[in-house]
Structure 1
Amino acid sequence: MFVQLLAATGVLAVLTLVPGPDMAVVTKRALASGWRDGLRTVGGITAGLLVWGTLTVVGLAAVLAASATAYTVVKLLGAAYLGFLGVQTLWQSRRGRAAPAAADAPSPVGNPWRTGLVGNVFNPKIAVFYTGLLPALAPSGVSPRLGMALLVLIHAALTLSWLGGYVMVLARARSLFEKPPVRRALDRVTGVVLIGFGIKVATSQP
């Protein structure tokens, strides 16, 4: 069981490190309003994983993954939300050369924890990922539900550690990112990336 759990953790770690919408959302928030809001966003993302994990363990996520209508509704809501964040970031990048100091700059709209939670909950690919992968990775020797619940907790811990560490790296380099030309460029790249992920989610299939 220990060897199986270690192997499953390795697979989850690799998947956690792959850049995706969560990293783009965290980047936007951390650069806009600092490491505290960045960590709150990471907390919301982690909570979203626990929501999907709970639904997977009780079997509801499988229903969503198998229902074309439910999948489409969730993915379009998620795509719209990512698109909104992307457009908002691009709009913020239109500041002039005399950009306000970080302390005077307006904070992004919305609670950071809720931003992370909503972005994650409205990503149906996680339902497909959990329902398709967790049963195969669940270690033997325990009940399937307990095994999947354990893997969900491991994935949540890996996500919290990875994105939390990423936020702190951004915080240490924030003085560089606050330079107006660099900030505008990063805002534009992040905005385009968020919109791109929104399009990817909108066109995804179960």
Structure 2
Amino acid sequence: MHPYLIPLLTFAAAAAVFTITPGLDTAMTLRTATTSGWKAGLAAVVGICVGLGIWGLAAAFGLTALLAASETAFTVVKWAGALYLAWLGIGLILHPRASLGTAETVPVHDDARAAFRRGLLTNLLNPKVGIFYMTFMPQFIPPHVNVKEFSLLLTAIQAILSFSWLALLVALTVPLGRFLSSPVVVRRMDRLTGGIFIAFSLKLALSRRA
């Protein structure tokens, strides 16, 4: 057995548990897929995974050590993320959509770009993701390996797991499309998701580095 297989499998198992645990990424994916369609849902998933990849790259090259060492840096990123989530949540509560359709003057690909941007920013503006990579991944890096390369490999595993799970959630919304397209359901979904985003905003704002 390859000496690096066990730490890789162990990391994959642990990362899978974190991935399927409902959280902000899950809420973002389900809301986007149910209100804007599967293409926008997948775009949000890609944005989320790109955000994870960027944090993984930063961790591999030691950049996120700044967040762990500097209270100021952590606080700036934390509040930026909290305010962004609060802005999204308040917008969903005050201005929920009435249907899954989009205005004829708005191209469909604009929805996909917006969904990708939301997924990306949601992860990039959450310093806890960076701290997670800095504190969690090193536990699975065996001695006498190239730390950067192995960290990037673990990041790739995490991104693949996240994409697979979130893409599955998007696919599961398709059979429920008729029910989820109801104006009442869409408005309630938006407001519920808005409340979840605000809750995560408060959680992030009250979080500490430890």
**TM-score, normalized by the shorter chain, greater than 0.5:** yes
| Partner SS for 1:22 | helix
Moved over 4 A (4+): 103-110
- Pair 1:166 & 2:169 matched: yes
- Pair 1:180 & 2:180 matched: no
Task: Supply the AA of the counterpart residue of 1:40.
Answer: A
Structure 1 partner of 2:159:
156
Give the total of aligned pairs: 202
- Pair 1:137 & 2:156 matched: no
CA distance in 2, matches of 1:101, 1:9: 36
Could you say if the C-alpha distance between residues 5 and 101 of structure 1 is closer, same or farther in structure 2, counting changes exceeding 3 Å?
Answer: closer
Shift of 1:110: 6.7
Give the structure-1-normalised TM-score.
0.90
Shift of 1:171: 2.6
Unaligned segments of structure 1, at least 5 residues: none
CA RMSD of aligned residues (A): 2.1
Q: For 1:82-121, list aligned pairs within 5 A.
A: 82-93=85-96, 99-100=98-99, 102=101, 111-121=114-124
Q: Deviations over 1:46-92 (max 9, x none)?
A: 11011101110000111122211111110111111111111111123
Shift of 1:13: 0.5
Give the structure-2-normalised TM-score.
0.88
Deviates most, 177-186 or 153-162: 177-186
| Partner SS for 1:111 | helix
Structure 1 partner of 2:24:
21
User: Quick one: percent identity of the two aligned structures?
Assistant: 38
Unaligned segments of structure 2, at least 5 residues: none
Task: Supply the AA of the counterpart residue of 1:125.
Answer: K
CA distance in 1, matches of 2:59, 2:165: 23
Shift of 1:32: 1.9
